[in-house]
Amino acid sequence: MNRVDRLHAILTILQSKRVVKAEELAAHFNLSIRTVYRDIRALEEGGIPIGAEAGVGYFLTDGFHLPPVMFTHEEARALLLAGKFIEQQTDQETAISFNNALTKVRAVIDNNKKDELDSLNQKILIQPFPSAKPSGENLHLMLIKDALVNNKILQLEYSTFKETTRREVEPIGICFYHNNWHLIALCRLRKDYRDFRLDRINKINVSSETFLRVRHLTLQEYFDKILQKEELVSVEIKVRKDLLPYLQESKYNMGLLEETIEEDGVRMRFAAYSLDYFSRWLLMMGNKVEILSPAELKEKTISLVNNLASHYIK
């Protein structure tokens, strides 16, 4: 990126946030702090009213506005692709909001590229096969985001496989993993942090009551704490080389730490949180895997095989 483009990009970032730290700009553009200082000075010399506060960061002074930001073709394509994911991995309200925003993006791109986006839209599919989830399932994302922004208490009716309970929770964040959205919050009923799957929330209400967020963990601190508490078990296996292409995604989900290709196969080392779950994963590999350690994993796998054989013999 040349300097003129970089200065324009820095100005765009300053417009997008209330305050931006020099360290943030340096990390974003892979620059030294000294170069960031020079670029900010160049913008100021060009007439851009940039304020600064020691220890806080840079900001554009109130009342300063630039013409609407124009999107490059690559940025518009990236937003189109993101929209496809949002349609499949969020709820209907969020998808509608994003599509409205995408319409505004289309309005400011060059006319000769609008047909190109329409054509590209027909050539991208996310999850083309029928999904197990109901189409347009309401995940209450809009209400939850409102509560997160305004530090509001959420009142939930929440169902698990065992029971349905009513909870009052203090939300700290939402995250997406294992193909589901999750709300992380302090549950007043359990008096501890809990992970709530959004598709298991039957009813939700944003209370007028607020809470002090400074008393809570951040979302990242919560997951760091979970990882520290988790008792992980070291597992070592060897698989046949012809099996490797079929494990490209699942091996990381199972906690892959190290992979070494040897003459007679591929040696893999994992940090597993559940030997029961890990043994079930190994069953899918049949006789193409050898368990090297621990012995307990081999015993669990043998037990599963014997139980399965006994079930079908009967």
Q: What is the pLDDT of residue 283?
A: 94
What is the spatial distance between Cα 171 and Cα 61, in angstroms, rounded to a whole number? Answer: 33
Cβ neighbours of residue 309 closer than 8 Å, sequence gap 6 or more: none
Q: What is the pLDDT of residue 5?
A: 81
Asked whether the predicted pLDDT for residue 304 surpasses 80, the reply is yes
Q: What is the pLDDT of residue 70?
A: 66
Peptide bond into 245 cis (omega under 30): no
Asked whether the predicted pLDDT for residue 95 surpasses 90, the reply is no
Detail the DSSP E strand segments found in 198-299. 201-210, 233-239, 256-262, 265-272, 289-293
As a whole number, mean pLDDT of residues 151-157 equals 96
Q: What is the pLDDT of residue 136?
A: 54
Q: What is the pLDDT of residue 146?
A: 93
**Residues 31-48: tens digit of each pLDDT:** 999 999 999 999 988 888
The values of phi and psi at residue 281, to 5°, are -65, -40
Q: What is the DSSP letter of 31?
A: -
Q: How many residues does the structure list for the chain?
A: 314
Task: Calculate the alpha carbon distances from 256 to 70, 203, 272, 283 in Å.
Answer: 43, 38, 8, 17
Report the range of poorest mean pLDDT among 108-112, 197-201, 260-264.
108-112
**Residues 224-245: tens digit of each pLDDT:** 888 777 678 899 999 999 999 8
As a whole number, mean pLDDT of residues 246-273 equals 89
As a whole number, mean pLDDT of residues 270-284 equals 92
| Proportion of the chain above pLDDT 90, given as a percent | 48
pTM of full prediction above 0.75? no
Asked whether the predicted pLDDT for residue 1 surpasses 80, the reply is no
Q: What is the pLDDT of residue 205?
A: 95
3-class secondary structure, 278: helix
> Which of the two residues, 92 and 276, has the higher pLDDT score?
276
Terminal Cα distance for the chain, rounded: 69
Q: What is the pLDDT of residue 213?
A: 86
Q: What is the pLDDT of residue 15?
A: 81
Amino acid residing at 192: D
**Residues 127-136: tens digit of each pLDDT:** 776 655 555 5
Helix (H) or strand (E) run with residue 57 in it: strand 57-60
